[in-house]
Structure 1
Amino acid sequence: MSKKGIGSVLVAGTALVAGAAATVLVKHHLDSEKIIAKVKSVLGEDSKVIGSWVEPFYQRVNVNGQASWGIVGGVTTMDDFDVAQYHFIADAVTGELLNIKKVQ
């Protein structure tokens, strides 16, 4: 294969990897928004969410002895003058909330 052919393969491979990475990041962002909405729903209308965060990448998590890919994050709420933080883990494939707990 010529140098020109090798260069073309490298450029095409780089473009493919960059495209796949961009797709994963967009999917992660959209999944994160849906999961934050679920967390708000679980906490109820009485809880005013004043902040939220989500880890920027899918993570390997272990919930109740089951290993899977997850989305990890948290929300901060304010009820009257009481501020509370909750951490959550959601399944990256199904979007199901696997764990949500109030941080003491």
Structure 2
Amino acid sequence: MSKKGFGSLIACGAVLVASAATTVLVKHHLDSAKIIDKVKSVLGEDSKVIGSWVEPFYQRVDINGQSSWGIVGGVTTMDEFDVAQYHFIADAVSGELLNIKKVQ
């Protein structure tokens, strides 16, 4: 293979890797937004969410002895004058909210 052909092959591979990485990041962002909405729904309309965060990458999580990919994050709420924080884990594949707990 010529140097030009080899260079084109490397450039094509780099484009594919960059494209795949971008797709994963966009999917993670969209999944995260859906899960934050689910958390808000679980907490109820009385809880005013004033902040939220999500880990920037999918995480390996262990739920009930099962290892899977998850989305990990949290929300901060304010009820009247009480501020509370909740942490959550959601399944990265199904979007199911696996665990949510109030941090004390």
Normalising by structure 1, what TM-score? 0.99
Structure 2 residue matching 1:93: 3-state secondary structure: coil
Tell me which residue corresponds to 2:83.
83
Structure 1 residue matching 2:95: 3-state secondary structure: coil
Tell me which residue corresponds to 1:66.
66
Q: How far is 1:17 from its partner?
A: 0.2
Tell me which residue corresponds to 1:3.
3
How many equivalent pairs are there? 104
Q: Where in structure 1 do 4 or more consecutive aligned residues deviate above 4 Å?
A: none
Tell me which residue corresponds to 1:42.
42
Identity, in percent, stands at 85
Tell me which residue corresponds to 1:94.
94
Root-mean-square deviation (Å): 0.4
Q: Which runs of 5+ in 2 are unaligned?
A: none
Q: How far is 1:7 from its partner?
A: 0.2
Structure 1 residue matching 2:31: 3-state secondary structure: helix
Structure 2 residue matching 1:39: 3-state secondary structure: helix
Structure 2 residue matching 1:100: 3-state secondary structure: strand
Residue type at the aligned position of 1:78: M
